[in-house]
Amino acid sequence: MALLQISEPGQSLDPHQRRIVVGIDLGTTHSLVAAVRHGVAECLPDLQGRVLLPSAVRYTDPALGGSGRQVGHDALAAQHEDPGNTITSVKRLMGRTRAQVADVDRLPYRVVDEQGMAVIETVAGRKTPMEVSAEVLATLRFRAEDSFDDELFGAVITVPAYFDDAQRQATKDAAQLAGIEVLRLINEPTAAAIAYGLDHAAEGVYAVYDLGGGTFDISILRLTQGVFEVLATGGDSALGGDDYDNALAQWVLAQAAPAQAAAPMAAADRARLQSEARRCKEALSSPEGQAEGVVFGVALSVGVLSHRVSASDLAQCTEALTQRTLSAVRKVLRDARLTTSEIQGVVMVGGSTRMPVVQAAVGAFFGQTPLNDLNPDEVVALGAAIQANALAGNGNGGDLLLLDVIPLSLGIETMGGLVERIVPRNSTIPTARAQDFTTYQDGQTALALHVVQGERDLVADCRSLARFELRGIPPMAAGAARIRVTFTVDADGLLSVAAREMVSGVEANIDVKPAYGLSDEQIAAMLQDGFATAQQDMAARAWVEARVDADRLLVALRSALQADGDLLEPAQRQAIEALMQRLTESLQDPDPSRAAAIEAATKALADGTEAFAAERMNRGIQQALAGRRVQDV
């Protein structure tokens, strides 16, 4: 008698077949790939035993032969000789326009705008940030397939917690170009928490301080029996180790060559200066460098630059950057309604956290020694690998539950330019939220929906994400239609919006894929303004709502007078028209603080028309019952 195997839906027909999945940390300066082998997450090395892959791609002239590009260490080695075609820190360009890239003019390569996004001009033609990132991702994919001698099933790729929809979508597009199936995008701090939580069986509330080469993230997470819940998240997507390098380089220039600091600098000189600053920073982070200092020495086209730098010099010239990270930490703690004393531990992530000045500042802020027993360069990739292994169903990781959050509120525009929030910020994802709306005018057959993101009450103060229309609504009286708007945010943080008229069943939907990113200034302003202007926004909302209610009453009353004005005596009609005139005049006042006056005029008109409304109701009942028998009713 044969035994028949029954598999779970979606499970491999071969119960012994193991899916090859990896976790990828696509970093600003370095990238890594990790996988779970023999029950342990580990980073995969290249043929030379190197785990870190520089996130650098050099394009060469196709006419000269060869592959036309170099990736990783080879590209970085050629940066000094060919800075205009060696692309580094491309992560900062993902999902952005040129104007939204901080210090874009300091980059050694040329960035221009094309079709609503920043693109890079190279000798091999214009390259999008997704194409450049795809080269790095493809190299990591080949490394993984060589390690396992098998094709890759999929990958979990990490992104900064503050990446918006456009930046996340750009990351998925890059993976698709590299031939990688994205199982999920997860936030970098969350990946780090997975690595620490599972490896150390930690429970409680933890802060994850992630200072990488180009981005800074801070997340507050609650870890409980395999559940990773993000309580709040924040950061700065244009702050990282590159900025520390630049600050040190500019300080040395100002000390040793003030004239050169103010003059324009060749791209090759900027690249050499940045590279030497990175070397000095890393040397000053070692015990020997802290004690003795290091010599900053680099040969530029205008001469040799040499200056001794101490650990205190590095701390001094980068103090403002460190304080920027702590400012973001304070905001996130307020969002989570926590104090530093309620944080059980602080996880340090990112190569830049190796700097003693950063560790000392974070330790002093939280009043405890940060956790750094896992390699800060590798911890994000290790956490992503654990998550990938769980999603693929390869091991006992199926009990891992990952609860992430969205960084900014999502909503739609309502009458008067107001924002109705549907998904509040710091909501756990994946999530789906719905809210019912109605039409404003009689016989309205279409509804325009404007999707926005932000913390302010007025649409003008928020960021527009998308617009679409719901058509085919049956003609009804104003307020009779019932339109359900549903916001769905998937596990990758990507948004889709659907609208459905519940009576007729007509519906429309849109996947929100903006062609541009959110600038760092916008991110900071949205959160800061949401708190700083709360009182002002409340007054503005009250004023707009009062105007909308008044307009609605005037429209309805004009229609009623036209249909049943004969029910009124001349004196009654004159009194109602006087009240309407008073309300109309109050609407001419542009002062938002005058909402109470509009509300008072609206109430007076409503009270003054109660008798007219009763007369209209009586007439309607009489007309409805005319010619009908009591028994029939």
In-domain check, residue 541: yes
Tokens representing residue 222 in the block: 């609650």
Per-residue model confidence (pLDDT) at position 231: 82
Do 166 and 54 fall within a single domain? yes
More confident residue, 628 or 503: 503
Confidence of residue 293 (pLDDT cuts 50, 70, 90): confident
Q: Examine the pLDDT at 401 and tell me if it is beyond 80.
A: no
Q: Examine the pLDDT at 9 and tell me if it is beyond 50.
A: no
- 208, 349 Cβ separation under 8 angstroms: yes
How many domains does the chain contain in total? Answer: 3
Q: Examine the pLDDT at 537 and tell me if it is beyond 60.
A: no
Cα separation, 382 vs 191, whole angstroms: 8
Per-residue model confidence (pLDDT) at position 167: 86
Comparing CA positions, the residue from 476, 474, 483, 415 lying closest to residue 450 is 415
Comparing CA positions, the residue from 176, 178, 158 lying closest to residue 168 is 158
- Neighbouring residues of 335: CB distance < 8 A, sequence distance ≥ 6: 220, 231, 232, 234, 425, 426
Per-residue model confidence (pLDDT) at position 4: 41
What average pLDDT is seen over the chain? 80
Cα 554 off chain centre by? 42
Quick: pLDDT tens for 192-237. 888 876 445 557 888 999 898 877 888 888 877 666 677 888 888 7
What CATH number should be reported for the domain holding residue 482? 2.60.34.10
Strands 182-187 and 154-159: parallel
More confident residue, 540 or 360: 360
Tokens representing residue 8 in the block: 């779970």
What CATH number should be reported for the domain holding residue 202? 3.30.420.40
- Picking from 496, 531, 566, the residue at the C-terminal end of a domain is 531
Per-residue model confidence (pLDDT) at position 514: 47
- Picking from 531, 555, 570, the residue at the C-terminal end of a domain is 531
Quick: pLDDT tens for 12-47. 444 445 688 999 999 888 999 999 988 888 999 998
pLDDT above 90 covers a percentage of the chain that reads: 15
Task: Name the range with the highest mean pLDDT among 319-328, 505-514, 520-529, 560-569.
Answer: 319-328
**Residue ranges making up the domain that contains 424:** 406-531
In-domain check, residue 172: yes
Quick: pLDDT tens for 492-521. 667 888 888 888 888 888 777 544 344 445
What helix, strand, coil percent values describe the chain, rounded to 5? Answer: 45, 25, 30
CA 168, 190, 343, 290 dihedral sign is: negative
Cα separation, 80 vs 623, whole angstroms: 89
Comparing CA positions, the residue from 144, 120, 150, 151 lying closest to residue 133 is 120
Q: What are phi and psi of 304, to 5 degrees?
A: -90, 130
Quick: pLDDT tens for 356-398. 999 999 999 999 999 877 888 899 999 999 888 888 877 544 4
Cα 58 off chain centre by? 29
Confidence of residue 144 (pLDDT cuts 50, 70, 90): very high
Per-residue model confidence (pLDDT) at position 199: 43
Q: Where are the alpha helices (DSSP H) in 533-566?
A: 534-564
User: Mean pLDDT across the stretch 385-412?
Assistant: 71
Per-residue model confidence (pLDDT) at position 402: 56
Do 424 and 386 fall within a single domain? no
Do 363 and 488 fall within a single domain? no
Q: Helix crossing, 534-564 with 610-625: angle to 10°? A: 50
Q: Examine the pLDDT at 160 and tell me if it is beyond 70.
A: yes
Cα separation, 363 vs 486, whole angstroms: 43
Do 434 and 509 fall within a single domain? yes
Per-residue model confidence (pLDDT) at position 397: 45
pLDDT above 70 covers a percentage of the chain that reads: 84
Do 387 and 435 fall within a single domain? no
Lowest-confidence segment of 22-26, 120-124, 290-294, 592-596 by average pLDDT: 592-596
**Half-sphere CA count of 624, side-chain side, radius 13 A:** 8
Catalytic positions are 25, 91, 188, 210
What CATH number should be reported for the domain holding residue 556? 1.20.1270.10
